[in-house]
A = this chain, B = another copy of it.
Amino acid sequence: MQMGEGVEWGLHCCVTLGWLNDEAPVSIRRLAAWFDLPPEYLKKRLQALAKAGILHSTPGARGGFSLARPPERITMMDVVTALEGPAEAFRCTEIRQRGAGAEGGRFGRPCGISAAMRRAELAWRRELAGRTIADLMADSAPAGERTRRNYARLPG
């Protein structure tokens, strides 16, 4: 059960875009060079964030991506959902209702296993929903300072 790399990329890009708010928008080329990532594929992931309303994309020359909302109103859960999809990791296929074991049974109530997994995923989601991009920016404020400084003298 592995999470896509895009999540790490998306979170770092959101934090960086938060720090570079004055320079917005930031082009894909620069973001990709910033983290040494494949530009085309990074573009695709950020487009997903734009479609979810997390990023705003401005076309044309000097275009690029910027945060669509203040960083306090973007949670980690938002980013994960936009990039990984809204589906839960555990999918109950109701195997108890198939095969010889299902005979003569009435399964009105939901599957206990499914319910337990859902509770666990809810706890996970709650943690992620309680932490915003602004929190992440504050966690490493010196890195943000350095980012602003280095970005100014970036070629391209």
Within 8 A of B (CB), among A56-107: 76, 84-85, 87, 89-93, 95-96, 98-101, 103-105, 107
Chain A, interface size: which category?
Answer: 35 or more
Q: Which A122-144 residues have C-beta < 8 A from chain B?
A: 123-128, 131, 135-136, 139-140, 143
Per the bound structure, the CA–CA distance linking A101 and B140 in Å amounts to 14
Tell yes or no: A152 within 8 A of B by CB: no
A150 touches B104 (CB 8 A): yes
State the Cβ distance, A147 to closest chain B Cβ, in Å: 6
Given contacts A37-B95, A95-B36, contact A11 B143 (CB under 8 A): no
Q: A154: which B residues are within 8 A, CB to CB?
A: 100
